Amino acid sequence: MNDDKCGCRIIHFQAVADARSASLNRTDYERLAQMFKIMADPSRLRILWALERQEMCVCDIAAFLEISESAVSHQLRLLRGARLVKNRREGTVLYYRLVDDHVKMLTDIALNHIKESND
């Protein structure tokens, strides 16, 4: 028998109704999925992790990741488009930081989950 299927076919109508009443609209699901897709890249996760500690300019992030500034700019453009990071200009330097603490919370919760599931 498949461990991912019930041994018999029965629909628990109250459970289905409860799930439907708590369900999000399609747009919210799509936006969540898009955010997780953006965060699913290791380079972008490393950028987010670094920005949890302090704001950094593109040059700093490129040195940290050991990749080109052009590649970092591309990743930051995606992160900014997903409203995960924002920037500020100080003279000729453009500094990046997380949009808010929710981004840090997402990465922290995910890290705790994978560490706990390895125990």
Domain that includes residue 92, residue range: 13-117
Task: Give the C-alpha separation, 84 to 104, whole Å.
Answer: 10
Judge whether 1 lies within some domain.
no
Judge whether 104 lies within some domain.
yes
Judge whether 107 lies within some domain.
yes
**Rounded (10°) CA dihedral 18, 20, 23, 25:** -160
Judge whether 74 lies within some domain.
yes
Task: Give the C-alpha separation, 9 to 23, whole Å.
Answer: 23
As a whole-number percent, the residues of the chain with pLDDT over 90 amount to 89
As a whole-number percent, the residues of the chain with pLDDT over 70 amount to 97
| CATH number of the domain where residue 22 is located | 1.10.10.10
| pTM > 0.85: yes or no | no
- The count of domains in the chain is 1
